[in-house]
Structure 1
Amino acid sequence: MGEPTSFGEMFELLSQQNKKQTASLTDQIKGSEQNLRNQIRKSSQQLANVQERNIILERKIRRNNILLFGLKVENNNSLITDTLTKINELFSLNIQTNDINNIYKVGRRESAPILIEFLSYLKKSELFKNPEKLRNLKDTDYAIANDLCEEDRRDLKILKKHQREAREEGKEARIKGFKLEINNTLYTAKELETLSEIHTDSSGSEDTGEETDQETNRNGAVLSEKLSIDNKKRKKRKENTPSPEGIKTRAHKKKKKHY
């Protein structure tokens, strides 16, 4: 093709060059966006893995601990002695200071809970071996609880909320570990919250508080399908993440096809 001899030809040539440059830049931007998405996805997964490992580690650290509620200690110098005396009195045990790693108050209030760090899980478990002693605590001003991490406390709160709601509806509900058994079916906190969201969305603006059998079956089916999809996504997350080589190959093919 010769040199352009008219304004129209020059304009056409510039337009074509501009289109090619625009297309090339568009392909580069799309490739960069895809790379950025993949990096974000990879970083999000790495962060989730780190958070999960941190939770597991924190559970192990807290595993040997218990919290004692209701004991008021005015003199911190006698905190260890007073705490062990009360624990041995409540549970008819003989726990000594050499069984303990540390004892301290969680907070500044006089009635703040007291954290007891046992040296072994077996020694801590002695407090829970006598169900009668645990039941008798209800008639006293004292209570004990496992030292849970923030995530486990949140899940337990959700389980108790749904346990209360299920019992109000006349269903059998009891907490087993970190799951809630309702009419012989076990649910995790995440599953219960998902079911609540589905029920809220399906109830609409005119909620009468009643649910038909058809709606119940539909909500259950949607929950099962959603949980199944979530499990598949977790198992295939690595397979679904494209490699950098694959991204470059697809970007090259798109660019070549345009020309």
Structure 2
Amino acid sequence: MTHRLLRQSTRILVVNPNSSESMTHGVEEAIKRMKLADNTEIYTYTAPPESPASINTGEDVTLSADVVYENLRGKLADYDAILVACYSVHPLVQWLALDNPHLAVTGIFEASVLATLSLLGPPLTSAGEDEKSRMWGVVTTGKFWEAHLSDGVKHFLGQKTEETNFKFGGVESTGLTAGDFHGGVDPAVIRQKLKDATQRLLSKGPVECVVMGCAGMAGLEDIIRDATEEKYGKEQAEKLFVVDGVLAGVGLLEQTVKNRRMFRK
């Protein structure tokens, strides 16, 4: 009897480059809500203790990249795709892609930008009029990320830093850290700070998509919708897209692996 393999599995490794197991657990719980293909397998990884428990600065990004890169070197042959689950312009995305050409690699930052652009509606003005676009933006943790992510969006989209992107409403920070979302801070404080940052973003224009700019925010979509309802009413809150970069990344990689198999010899 001849046996033929008709369906290949898709094995995605979700890399948490900080050393917080509770952060990884939160990411896992978010992924469990997804409706994935039966042959898609998701694995998670938490960085070793040498990596920061919460990535809050540029130095933390660099250290986490160095630690994880060395720890994963030569251990990725069994996977089809890698998702770097830190909402930043993280060096691991480039490093792992260059070292492992067989892998589809992205970060939750890059995946969220692509997902958001696909969700925005058409321009609000007709051709020839002053441009008025539907907008999107990011709510994140500390002040450091406002410039880091704003510059990152423009670089990812091929823009010069000084150029204006009429669709991008910018980045609003909560003053929290990634670790604060997993213990140590009163949930009521987290809720209020996240609502305040969301409402500042919404005040910038016709925002249709809000991106949660931290993997630790997984599961907090309702807070953003509540903030929208308080500012613009229930109808607008229900129409708002709240983008979780982890979910965007897993979904993107699942399709990317399929596309690589279909369109490459």
Please give the TM-score of this superposition, normalised by the length of structure 2.
0.21
Larger strand fraction of residues: 2
TM-score normalized by the length of structure 1: 0.22
**Structure whose alpha-carbon radius of gyration is higher:** 1
More helix by share: 1
